[in-house]
Chain A
Amino acid sequence: MKGTYLGEFEEVVLLAVAIRSGDAYGVAVVNEIEQQMGRSVSLGAVHSALNRLQEKGLVDSELGGATAERGGRRKRLYTVTAYGRRALEEVRQLRNQMWAAIPQTTWS
């Protein structure tokens, strides 16, 4: 099911949007990911992922006000939708469920 499947990078981006809630736009997401994961990502990859998430209905967006630091250009602010939040929770629950299923002996 293409509609609900959440890729790894998409998951990361979606989490970053959630973290920066209220001020999640392209650059903020890039910075958040770089900071959290310690690796550099390209702006194109982030925007493309945001675009996909929006098409799937996991995030919503609207144009914010103009700011001087961007040469007067407006930014597009993303917010996680309820559906997006449920998707994140499902992923997390799945992980936890699978973690719990690992026999204790495996790690000894």
Chain B
Amino acid sequence: MNRNPPPRPVGPRWATYLLHGLCPPHRAEELAGDLDELFQQRIGEVGLRRARWRYVRDVFSLLRPSLLRREVTVYPKPTHTDMLRNYLTIAMRTLGRNKGYSAINIGGLAMGMTVAMLIGLWVYDELSFNKSFRHHDRIAQLWQFVTFDVEKSSYDVLPMPLADELRRNYPDFDNVSLAVTRNVILATGDQTFTQAGKYVEPGFASLFSLNLLSGTPSALADINSILLSESLAKTVFGSASPLDKLIRVDNKRDVKVAGVYQDFPANSAFNEVTFLAPWTLLVAIEEEAKRDQNQWDSNSYEIFAQLKPGADADLVSAKIKDIRMKRDNPPGYKPEFFLHPISKWHLYHDFKDGVNTGGLITFVWLFGAIGVIVLLLACINFMNLSTARSEKRAKEVGIRKAVGSVRSQLIAQFFSESLLIAMLAFVLALAAAQLLLPLFNQVAEKRVTMLWGNPWFWLAGLGFSVLTGLIAGTYPALYLSSFQPVKVLKGKFRVSRFAAVPRRVLVGFQFTVSVMLIIGTIIVFRQIEHAKSRPVGYSRSGLIEIPMKTPELYGHYESMRNDLLETRAITEMAESSNSITVQYGGTTDISWEGKNPTTKPLVMSNFVSHDYGKTVGWQLMAGRDFSRAYSTDTASLILNKAAVELMGLKDPIGAPIKRGGRTYSVIGVVNDMIKEDPFKPISPSFFALSYTNVNTINVKLSPQLATGEALAKVEQVFKTYSPDAPFDYKFVDDVFAKKFGTEERIGRLAGVFAILAILISCLGLFGLASFIAEQRTKEIGIRKVLGASVFTVWRLLSREFVLLVMIAFCLAAPLAYYVLSDWLQNYQYRTELSWWIFALAGLGALAVTLLTVSFQAIKAALLDPVKSLRSE
């Protein structure tokens, strides 16, 4: 027999669900009861079908706003500040009770925020480069692509007549100005200064919105005047008014200070320009400039232009591309002019075969990414520690609920705690960033300042802090507040086995990043070392160079050399075209036996005096050096190894080389010397004798004398020849070292970030390990009672983390390999990605992890089990 009564018919379930879904809980029971009662009653009156129908109708009739309104909370509403103050008090007490965790939490987050802030400022500075000019959306610099051999090379120097051509025949331009940078000796009274400045046409002032503090901009049209930057005017004239004072330029001509302008901003292309002189002055004092005025094939001058509003740079580029090729005698290197807009000068400076390949923007991205990652690491710590701690607070939640807290109050409390921590970290980070800024500027070679007055800075900083606080607070706020107080207080509450999974994933991620950064740093430093240890081909020790800026230095080669040798302060002296650390100028007008007539390779030209080889200590591989004993040496050349390889000469000595309509014979071959980029292969070059086409004096100091003493003696001789010019020498060593500037800067920054990332990860690990050890105190106690050794306990606690680091390493190694081999592709002369670097990084990470975890593990293992088991 069926003892269960037949099931009662009920109204359509979906309507019931709808009612329960929408109606406020305090009404639902009563309404559902009424509905059910009416339904049962109506089945008897009108039948099941119509009863169901009326049931649905009634449900809908109940869904009216007045009945859907939620119940007003039964709690009295204290003024809001009261409750907030209570949350803050509780949060402060929680922080104070766990000082260690709080310090790790706030400190780690503040560290990450500081790094992100500094990087953010750096990125902002880079992105705002050249933005200070009023018409920065319409300014462009003229560039040209030229084809020497197969590939197109790009140059930002152009022929002088192009400027006039653009002004006269191309209406797309509002303003065109020639410019050229020179290091000039400025003399006034008995002071002399060597300063970098620009000779410019009058249009330059309005083109770059020059801010004149005194004087008139029309001065740039007057050959007898000069404009000084505010800072230069201060150094030269102090507080006295510089206006109308006389300055002698390069010991050639006197000009009058016609105005002072506000310095160009540090983050602009002209940050090193300290004065502006009229173009006419350049033409008057430089022979070459005078000659180049109508030379379409002498590419030595910058041209800046401002487009008319609405003109498109690409379209104008297409129009001006073939200006030179359409004229008479088009040159073999096929110049193509184009406009490089100001927005791209700084960050997109590199071209390869006629295509822009970026430039500094790579680093903006790289450091931007690093900043975000470091911040992410810090946030992960914050979240991990907050969630790990919060499980301890389940009991607190239970009691709060039992006493009468409602869920929304618990949520508010947990959120206010995590927001408080985030805000404290933000304030700390602001202070730290301000303190570290000078150091950072030094490392990054920047002049970045805190953007205290920029609302975006505050918005981003505060927005981020709030976001971090909210994300980190979500777990405790939403999960813990949902506990049922009865279960928690009974002690039945168990964290599920999977609660730790997200934490493990996050720690794994942190270590993946750390290992990648370690590998990256090692590789960058190896690459720099690799290039530094490359044979340079000459001897840099004791070698100094002095630019020949004043006319008095020319034409006294023999007597000057004799005077210098007599002082015994030097071992040799020579003159050359340009410093040994740069390579200016080359020629395609060069041919040899067996040359393929269709190609036009560029061979770099160097002009030197007889004693150059001995001075710089180059390494002769075949033949002989220049010698005064052979009068025929004026028609002789010395080639470097790369040139011999390019020309394919089997027996280079005595081979005839045609250059500029004359035939020279090769007398010697020297080993390749690194004059240009130390990461690139060496260009084929030749050396020829000249005593006029030179501008640099090279001096090899005697190793017998102390450097200071030797320099003083050289200066004395120097002053007898050119009393007005400052003795402006440079050690070739230092100049050469600057070639590694960019790479060293990246290396240093990457190193700092790697250390910080590891530090932050370790902080998190430390906190987590100590938390886990604390959680398992009882377990460890029982294990010890049963006979576990310290080592066993240590292994028990460390195993998980070691496993995590190993997984992280397996992820990081291939990723790092991929990224770094990509980076190394940029260098033609590069180091190898050896396996031991990866192994080292992995072991390093493992060692750091073990050290961090072991501290906590051993501490836990040494605890007296009696103590840990006694209290319950």
Query: Chain A residues in contact with chain B, CB under 8 A?
Result: 25-27, 30-31, 42-45, 47-48, 51-52, 63, 69-71, 73-76
Contact = CB atoms under 8 A, between A and B. Distances in A.
25 contacts: A26-B30, A26-B31, A26-B33, A26-B34, A27-B34, A27-B37, A27-B38, A42-B61, A43-B58, A43-B61, A44-B58, A44-B63, A44-B64, A47-B67, A48-B67, A51-B67, A52-B66, A70-B33, A70-B34, A70-B37, A71-B8, A71-B33, A73-B33, A74-B30, A76-B30
Contacts of A26: 30-31, 33-34
Contacts of A73: 29-30, 32-33, 36
A70 B33 CA distance: 5
Nearest to B65: A48
Given A42-B61, A71-B8, A47 B37 contact: no
Contacts of B35: 43
Interface in B16-57: 29-38, 40-41, 57
Interface residues of B, number: 23
A25 B40 contact: no
A-B complex: 10 closest residue pairs judged by Cβ atoms:
A44-B61, A73-B33, A26-B34, A42-B61, A70-B33, A43-B58, A44-B62, A76-B30, A27-B37, A70-B37
B60 interface: yes
B12 to A, nearest CB: 15
A87 B10 CA distance: 39
Contacts of B36: 70-71, 73
A52 B249 CA distance: 96
A75 B63 contact: no
B836 to A, nearest CB: 76
Contacts of B10: 71
Contacts of A43: 31, 34-35, 38, 58, 61-62
A37 to B, nearest CB: 17
B67 A74 contact: no
Nearest to B57: A42
A30 B30 CA distance: 14
B871 to A, nearest CB: 46
Nearest to A49: B66
Contact of B60 (A30, A44, A51, A52): A44
Contact of A69 (B30, B40, B64): B40
Given A25-B30, A63-B30, 8 more contacts: A30-B34, A43-B31, A44-B58, A48-B66, A51-B66, A70-B33, A70-B36, A74-B30
A36 B273 CA distance: 101
A75 B38 contact: no
Contacts of A51: 66-67
A48 B65 CA distance: 9
A70 B8 CA distance: 11
A72 B426 CA distance: 56
B465 to A, nearest CB: 45
A47 B33 contact: no
Contacts of A44: 58, 60-64, 67
A75 B30 contact: yes
B61 to A, nearest CB: 3
B29 A48 contact: no
A5 to B, nearest CB: 16
A71 to B, nearest CB: 5
Contacts of B62: 43-44, 47
A45 B62 CA distance: 7
A18 B692 CA distance: 123
Contacts, number: 65
A48 B64 contact: yes
Nearest to A31: B41
A87 B724 CA distance: 113
Nearest to A73: B33
B632 to A, nearest CB: 118
Q: Which of B35, B58, B60 has the most CB of A within 10 A?
A: B58
Contacts of B57: 42
Contacts of A47: 31, 34, 62, 67
Given A45-B61, A48-B66, A75 B8 contact: no
A53 B10 CA distance: 30
A45 B8 CA distance: 27
Nearest to B34: A26
Interface string B61-104: 11110110000000000000000000000000000000000000
A74 B29 contact: yes
Contacts of B40: 69
Contacts of B60: 44
Given A47-B67, A51-B66, A75-B30, A30 B61 contact: no
Contacts of A25: 30, 34
A43 B15 CA distance: 14
A31 B45 CA distance: 12
A45 B61 CA distance: 7
Contact of A42 (B8, B32, B58): B58
Interface string B304-346: 0000000000000000000000000000000000000000000
Contacts of B8: 71
A69 B60 CA distance: 23
Nearest to A44: B61
A81 B421 CA distance: 54
A73 B8 CA distance: 15
B33 to A, nearest CB: 3
A53 B131 CA distance: 69
Contacts of B64: 44, 48
Contacts of A45: 61
Nearest to B38: A27
B570 to A, nearest CB: 106
A44 to B, nearest CB: 3
Given A44-B67, A74-B33, A27 B61 contact: no
A27 B41 contact: yes
Contact of A75 (B34, B61, B66): B34
A76 B35 CA distance: 13
Nearest to A63: B30
A73 B27 CA distance: 12
Q: Which of A25, A74, A76 has the most CB of B within 10 A?
A: A76
Given A27-B41, A47-B67, A69-B40, A75 B33 contact: yes
Contacts of B37: 27, 69-70
Nearest to B60: A44
Nearest to A66: B33
Contacts of B29: 73-74
Nearest to A29: B34
A60 B419 CA distance: 45
A34 to B, nearest CB: 10
B51 to A, nearest CB: 13
Q: Which of B8, B31, B34, B36 has the most CB of A within 10 A?
A: B34
A7 B38 CA distance: 25
Contacts of A31: 41
A75 B38 CA distance: 13
A40 to B, nearest CB: 8
Nearest to A45: B61
Nearest to B29: A73
Nearest to B58: A43
Contacts of B67: 44, 47-48, 51
A102 B40 CA distance: 47
Contacts of B61: 42-45
B346 to A, nearest CB: 69
B452 to A, nearest CB: 55
Contacts of A52: 66
A76 B29 CA distance: 9
A70 B658 CA distance: 114
Contacts of A71: 8, 10, 32-33, 36
A7 to B, nearest CB: 13
Contacts of B31: 26, 43, 47
A52 B66 CA distance: 8
A30 B38 contact: yes
A30 B31 CA distance: 13
A104 to B, nearest CB: 45
